Amino acid sequence: MDHSPEQLLLQQCQKGQLNAQRDLYERYKSVLFAVCIRYARDHAEAEDLLQETFIVIFRDIRQFRQEGSLEGWLRKVTIRVALTQLKKKYPTRFAQPFESLPPDFAVSVPSDSDLNEEAILGLLQQMPEGYRTVFNLHCVEEYSYEEIAQTIGVAESTVRSQYVRARRFLRKLVEKMLSEIESGG
C-alpha cells in the first residue's frame, strides 16, 4: 500500500519520533501561526499560542483518524487552544448582555486604498478580545453563530451581539485609517 509523504510523517509523529515532530512543526508552523495571530493581541502572544498548540498537537496526534485533512485537524486544534488560552486569560470578555441588533452593514474598503493584509491584521488586533474572537470564528473560520456559542460557552444571542459590535468597531477603525491615509497622516 502506497503512503503519501504526509501519511508517513503523520504515522511517525503518532509513534513519537522527534525528527518527524520537527518536520511537522516546520511544515505547518507558518499556517498555524497565521491562525494564532488572528486571535492574539500581539506577535508575542501569538508565539505563545503557537507553542501551546504544538504541545497539544503532539500530545493528541494519535487521536487524528484521517477523516479529513491533517491541516484541517491542526487548524481546529489551534483554534481550540487559542480559545482555551484566551478564556483563561480574559474570562469576562463575553460578559456583555445582548441588546437589540442594528441592521447589518458591511465594512467597505476602496480597492485603491493602501490597506493590505498586515494593516487589516493590525486593525483586528486592536479589537477587544470578545469582538476579535467572534469575528474570526464567524468571518474567517466560517463557524455558525450556534457553533460559536457552543465553542465558547455563551448564549447564541451574545455571539450575535458580539459579532455586530465587532463589525461596528472594525468599521470605525477602517474609516479612521482611511481618513488618515487620505489626509496624508
pLDDT of residue 87 exceeding 80, the answer is no
104 within domain boundaries: no
Chain segment 6-21, per-residue pLDDT in tens:
889 999 999 999 999 9
Does residue 97 form part of some domain? no
User: What is the value of pTM for the model shown?
Assistant: 0.65
CATH of the domain at 50: 1.10.1740.10
Whether residues 84 and 154 fall in one domain = no
* Final residue in a domain of this structure, among 89, 108, 143: 89
Q: How many alpha carbons fall within 13 Å on the CB side of residue 98?
A: 10
| More confident position, 141 or 144 | 144
| Residue with the three cell numbers 444571542 | 157
77 shares its domain with 128: no
Q: How far apart are CA 175 and CA 37, in angstroms?
A: 23
| H or E stretch covering 34 | helix 18-39
State which residues form the domain around 61.
5-89
Q: Is position 101 within any domain? A: no
Instruction: Please indicate, yes or no, if residue 24 is contained in any of the structural domains.
Output: yes
Q: At 1, is the pLDDT very low, low, confident or very high (cuts 50, 70, 90)?
A: very low
Considering the domain architecture, whether residues 11 and 84 belong to the same structural domain is answered as: yes
173 within domain boundaries:
yes
Residue 112 lies in a domain: no
State residue 73's pLDDT score: 92
The CATH number for 129's domain is 1.10.10.10
Q: Which of 53, 70, 89 is the last residue of a domain?
A: 89
* Per-residue pLDDT band at 2 (split at 50, 70, 90): low
105 occurs within a structural domain:
no
Tell me, rounded to whole angstroms, the distance of Cα 11 from its chain centroid: 27
Helix or strand holding residue 153 (H, E):
none
* Residues 6+ positions from 32 with CB-CB distance below 8 Å: 50, 53, 54, 74, 75, 78
Same domain, 61 and 18: yes
- For residue 4, pLDDT over 50 is answered with yes
Single-letter amino acid, residue 51: Q
Total count of domains within the chain: 2
Higher pLDDT pick, 148 / 104: 148
C-beta contacts of 148-152 below 8 A and 24+ residues apart: 151/83, 152/83, 152/87, 152/94
Does residue 95 belong to any structural domain of this protein? no
Q: What is the pLDDT of residue 90?
A: 64
The model's confidence at residue 97, banded by pLDDT at 50, 70 and 90, is very low
Question: pLDDT class for 85, splitting at 50, 70, 90?
Answer: confident
Q: What is the CA radius of gyration of the chain?
A: 19
Question: What is the per-residue pLDDT across 33-60, written as a single tens digit (0 to 9) for each?
Answer: 999 988 888 899 999 999 999 999 999 9
